[in-house]
Amino acid sequence: MAGAAPATPGARLSAVLLSSEQRAAFLAEASGLLSGSLDPEETLRRLAELVVPVIADWCHVVVVDGGEPRQLAVTHGDPDKARWADELIREYPLDRTAAHGINEVIRTGRPKLVTSISDADVALFARDARHLELLRGLGLRSAMVLPLTARGATFGAFTLASAESGRRYHQDDVVLASELADHAALAIDNARLYCEAREAVRARDEFLAVAAHELRTPLTPLGLHVQDLQRRAAGEGPPLSPEALAAKLVKIARQVERLEALVENLLDVSRITQQRLLVAAEDGDLTDAVRAVASRLDRAAEQAGSALTVDAPEPIRGRWDRFRVEQVLSNLISNAIKFGAGKPVEVSAVAGAGVATVTVRDHGIGIAAADRARIFERFERAVATRHYGGFGLGLWIASRIVDALGGRIDVDSVPGEGTCFTVTLPIRAGAG
């Protein structure tokens, strides 16, 4: 008919669907709407707009974020009622310990149907008088809770509920709503995968930029020193005295060592990612390893204005991977020197109750509480790259090595006062 508006998916669903062709057409159009955004939360909002108010008076969306259920929104056609529901969410967040309801659907991946909701049901669900008042204000009459499942994992649920429309949901409604949920879950999962891929590309590009800068830092002075030696060997300029030549070779060796450390970090990223990080234990003294690393970094501490001290009076014998242990200690002590603001850096090692404990303490800029967990993630840092160099890999690699050694690494810090890293390793009996 001329001038007639095309039927929306919701309008079709509100009618009696007599054929599988009509159902397929609705789901196909719904899938198109849901896949129109690559933002997961926008996709969920489109889901809510699709069902309210045509097949539901309320739509409640929950997703699992970092292992915790998170309520995104409650949607209703009446903005005043939507605000009422938002108030309910703020005052009474989802109880993640509850055994039934939304938690049950997310846990089991199976839909739940409540054909009729009485005032007595609402009273049983209420946590207190205020909660009861808010729930009664929703005016719920019937509800379906559908899982959002993709690639075998349930990552959320959405609830369709009726109120003033007086609808009563039945099993046939659950079947069709579950198909809609499957389409929604697929669209949301695709959006999530896209966001993760985009973030991975961003992290890669940022890392490559940092890596290029970090590798260029030792290469530039190394190249200048080598060019100077080449010119003098060709008779250009006065010859170097043995002392000056020895000093220049020390500088070259230092830059080569720095390059080797950077390349080794990059190789460790590949080994850890592919689960090929090897740990080879041998008899040894942990105290000796601590002192060896501190001795190698003593000059770096001196250049930074930090006094580096070691308190490890007794040998700590056991079976260790000396190379990996020294790698962990080198990362931690280097970090302490870098972020220690020219103040003392203290290293200690003690044994007791079957474990060895090594602490590295500085009195520098410290780490904010919000950053303490993420500093152990790959490419993460708690400071701006432009102020402090590095790949953002040292602590990540150190934590993975400590895990492989059967130990743990902890951090305690107060911004502006300093940081203390504690490494605890099991003492395994040595041959001697």
| pLDDT score recorded for residue 383 | 46
In sequence order, the 6+-apart residues with CB closer than 8 A to the CB of 263 are none
H helices, E strands: number in the chain = 12, 12
Cis peptide before 242 (omega within 30 of 0): no
| pLDDT score recorded for residue 16 | 37
| pLDDT score recorded for residue 282 | 87
- Among 114, 103, 115, smallest CA distance to 147 is for 103
Structure tokens, 64 = 């699992």
- Among 144, 149, 163, smallest CA distance to 107 is for 149
- Among 334, 268, 316, smallest CA distance to 424 is for 316
Backbone angles phi, psi at 92, to 5 degrees: -135, 80
- 202-273 and 282-426: identical CATH topology: no
DSSP 5: P
Backbone angles phi, psi at 236, to 5 degrees: -90, 115
Structure tokens, 47 = 């889901």
| pLDDT score recorded for residue 380 | 52
Strands 355-362 and 418-426: antiparallel
Tallying the residues shown for the chain, one arrives at 432
**Whether domain 282-426 has CATH 3.30.565.10:** yes
| pLDDT score recorded for residue 127 | 87
What architecture is the 9-196 domain classified under in CATH? 2-Layer Sandwich (3.30)
Amino acid letter, 322: R
Asked if 349 and 358 touch (Cβ cutoff 8 Å), the reply is yes
DSSP 370: G
Q: Where are the domains of the chain?
A: 9-196, 202-273, 282-426
Reading the chain (432 residues) residue by residue, the pLDDT tens digits are: 444 444 444 443 443 343 566 667 767 777 777 777 777 777 777 777 777 877 888 888 888 876 677 777 677 878 778 777 778 878 888 777 777 788 889 889 999 999 999 988 888 888 899 888 888 888 889 999 999 998 888 988 988 999 988 889 988 888 888 988 888 888 888 888 888 888 777 767 766 666 676 677 677 778 888 888 888 888 888 888 888 888 888 888 878 877 776 677 666 666 666 565 667 788 999 999 999 999 988 888 998 999 999 999 999 999 888 888 988 998 899 889 988 989 999 999 999 889 999 999 999 988 888 777 778 776 555 444 444 445 567 788 888 889 888 999 999 999 989 999 999 999 987 544
Asked if 254 and 401 touch (Cβ cutoff 8 Å), the reply is no
Sign of CA dihedral 163, 166, 167, 168: positive
Asked if 402 and 425 touch (Cβ cutoff 8 Å), the reply is yes
CATH no. of 202-273: 1.10.287.130
- Among 42, 83, 50, smallest CA distance to 74 is for 83
| pLDDT score recorded for residue 272 | 61
| pLDDT score recorded for residue 112 | 93
